Amino acid sequence: LDPVSVIVAKRDGHALDDAQIAWAVDAYTRGEMAPEQMSALLMAILLRGMDRREIATWTRAMIESGSRMDFSGLRRDGRALPTVDKHSTGGVGDKITLPLAPLVASFGVAVPQLSGRGLGHTGGTLDKLESIPGWRADVPIDEMTAQLESVGAVVCAANPDLAPADRLLYALRDVTGTVESIPMLAASIMSKKIAEGTGALVLDVKVGSGAFLPEIERARELADTMVELGERAGVATSALLTDMDQPLGRAAGNAVEVAESVEVLAGGGPADVVELTVALAAEMLTLAGLPDADPAAHLADGRAMDTWRAMIAAQGGDPDAPLPRARHTDTVTATETGRVRRVDARAVGDAAWRLGAGRSRPGADVQAEAGVIVHVATGDQVRPGTPLFTLHTRTPERFDAARAALTGAVTLADPESDPVAAPRVIERVRF
Ligand code: URA
């Protein structure tokens, strides 16, 4: 096999056979296929697409590029522990993993949550948790197993040998305008989740301006593709399509999102964050064999909070330590009167990123204290001077860029208009 014949086959709209796919993924991972050749193939895949067999073969090749984890032997009090994980396709203010993992674990289910760092305007779970003094993202596999058996939840970085082909391909997609290919998104996400060895998986597929695939038809196609990949690999998988047109909750950034998550774990917090946390927990617990579990009860009575505290402490964090606070804040206010129709998620994500919550180069540091607090939500009435956003940063020279990103972020309707309800959960996708 040679790279050019594989590129030409896809360029001309043919399905690639299993041998071509296995060869291309392996050759690129071993450095035998040049980046410019894989870039051309990725662009051909983006433009021509792949059928479900091709996507499944590509996913398998990425899994086989590294090692697989196995949690089937987890025990507590002599009883086997079911495992269930959640993956979000990424959004703005999406801190759901923080309350969700301990909430689900508080029902006696193991949650091995391998998480990532921020990407573009979307935040990363590990970056958020690292704002807790002492907390470590790197957990060796034997400690991970012990923590799952004792505490029930671990949120940590993936080990470098989990689907290494994805790490290489992801970096290339990021710089070649090919991230949005549905086959590549599905294979990237599912290769890591299948290699992780979870028994069940719930996918939170985002729709709207703050998502990688803003249109519902494409988000649905991604969800369908991933659910089929999971089920065919023996992982009980379902997906929820959820709204990411508006930021989730009131906080977007790092420490500010941890603070909001702790409010949810204490039985409070913004209604939309609670709604989505409870919906995803119910879906995860159903797949883990507990369809009658009542997640809202464990938020109200403190059991989810107890598991959170144990989970943070097990990874070296101090759950009682004060979170970093920004030295500089600046408030953006309304200039007109009206009823809020929409707060644009993408604009809020870009502003948080510009304030220092995200990275502009791989491996750069993020500011734990940087972020945006959103003071208004759909349906609220505003007048000139009403606070819309408070910007937090260590570097006040970034305020102008963040303010520019937020220009036009709040759409107002007539003050007399009826409020329009925007439910977070749009639909459920099963195999
Ligand atoms: N998350 C992933 O793991 N892969 C993608 O391609 C996009 C989001």
pLDDT digits (tens, 9 = 90+) for 43-96: 999 999 999 999 999 999 999 999 999 999 999 999 999 999 999 998 899 999
**For ligand 1, what atom is nearest to the CA of residue 179?**
6
Report the distance separating Cα 72 and Cα 299, nearest Å.
Answer: 28
- For residue 222 and ligand 1, the question of a CB distance below 6 A is answered with no
Residues whose CB falls within 8 Å of the CB of residue 182, separated by 6 or more in sequence, listed in order? 49, 213, 218, 221, 222, 225
Contact 402, 355 (CB under 8 A): yes
- pLDDT grade, residue 35 (50/70/90)? very high
- Would you tell me which CATH number, out of the four given (3.50.50.60, 3.40.1030.10, 3.40.50.720, 3.40.640.10), belongs to the domain 75-314? 3.40.1030.10
pLDDT at 131: 97
pLDDT at 313: 98
Select which of 86, 117, 167, 192 is catalytic: 192
72, with CB counted inside 10 A (0-12, 13-18, 19+), is exposed
pLDDT at 360: 76
- For residue 226 and ligand 1, the question of a CB distance below 6 A is answered with no
Any catalytic annotation for residue 87?
A: yes
Residue owning the nearest CA to atom 5 of ligand 1: 185
What is the third-level CATH fold of 328-413? Aldehyde Oxidoreductase; domain 3 (3.90.1170)
Are 75-314 and 328-413 equal in CATH topology? no
Any catalytic annotation for residue 417?
A: no
90, with CB counted inside 10 A (0-12, 13-18, 19+), is buried
Contact 238, 282 (CB under 8 A): no
Nearest 10 degrees: Cα torsion 215, 220, 225, 226: 90
pLDDT tens digits, one per residue of 183-242: 999 999 999 999 999 999 999 999 998 898 999 999 999 999 999 999 999 999 999 999
pLDDT of 1 over the 90 cut: no
- For residue 189 and ligand 1, the question of a CB distance below 6 A is answered with yes
Report the distance separating Cα 206 and Cα 214, nearest Å.
Answer: 8
Residue owning the nearest CA to atom 2 of ligand 1: 189
- For residue 258 and ligand 1, the question of a CB distance below 6 A is answered with no
Select which of 173, 309, 354, 424 is catalytic: 173
Instruction: Tokens for 416, please give them.
Output: 């007399």
Structure pTM?
0.95
- pLDDT grade, residue 298 (50/70/90)? very high
Rounded to the nearest angstrom, the distance between the alpha carbon of 212 and the centre of ligand 1 is: 9
**For ligand 1, what atom is nearest to the CA of residue 116?**
3
- Checking 136-145 for CB contacts under 8 A at 24+ apart, the result is 136/315, 136/316, 136/317, 137/315, 139/315, 141/69, 144/112, 145/71, 145/74
Report the distance separating Cα 368 and Cα 363, nearest Å.
Answer: 15
Q: Where are the domains of the chain?
A: 3-49, 75-314, 328-413
Any catalytic annotation for residue 342?
A: no
Averaged pLDDT score across all residues of the chain: 95
**For ligand 1, what atom is nearest to the CA of residue 184?**
6
Rounded to the nearest angstrom, the distance between the alpha carbon of 179 and the centre of ligand 1 is: 8
Instruction: Tokens for 34, please give them.
Output: 């040049």
